[in-house]
A and B are shown apart, each in its own frame.
Chain A
């Protein structure tokens, strides 16, 4: 009986580890993370002309600090704009109502994220609010094109990607 007990124990541990790994892959490497869903949060909406390849689950940050995640992306067929619903952590409940939202790229080839730039209003964003001032994502192809051109010239000091401020 000792042998079959060891066998069951070994099999059980293996299956447990396997399912732990599956759980890890589905929740920790993807945006299906449980971190924000479970915490108290409030939703704000913003409309963009173009969100590039922004995905549900992408971070929303202010000054580089993550304050929330993109919860939902849909298309407004009357205005032809992308509607992005962001879940912001309730801890950050003093974000000025006239803040603007831009879509940035992490690194050069990284994923997109939403950056909020604080405005100066005395009122704060609350649940179901809209952010009116938005700046669209860069189309990736333009950047790649620039980059490729630079590589062909053999220059190692590739220019840093243009910041969205320049489009204001």
Chain B
């Protein structure tokens, strides 16, 4: 049985039909990618899983259980989200310690001290960063804090919304390596949303390509690497991500 099972999901925001019938199934321990351009509804699918976007029709099941709205606290101990922009997703007047302690307080953990220390070590930041404010950190360090915040409740599922697209290339490599290592150490399940095919190909075993709120096609990593795309849209994306090509004169 798949861990995350989405069938025929529709999301509407007033007159806008952002997601039109997306189905996907993610097994435990798998990394699943969603690729698309802006406005394709890829982030909305992720936000719908998390309960941040309304489900208009269809169902989302985790471990066979249909999710209810609002999500129960137990859901957030199983699934957490990392957002795109670490400059916007951390509270500017909360220290790293406060950011990391808050989920623990909400969920009634008592060993907060030890967990905060461990979370910082896990993401490679060390204790020196514990009482800093976000503005005292670089972009890559902030995204590490965001990952630590998501992992502090020890969830099994991590929803990653463009986790590296606000970062420089060299920092992106570090964050991707961190995510890769954490997944293999803890057997996490990832759903990764990105506009960058190369990032998804690096991180995910399977992926779907979305356009206008619908699934264009589903591919495995091997198919993507071999450029075996059935749909024209995916082929265009693949060609565009190779860089600029001058038409033969």
Q: Do A and B bind each other?
A: no
Chain A interface residues toward B at CB < 8 A: none
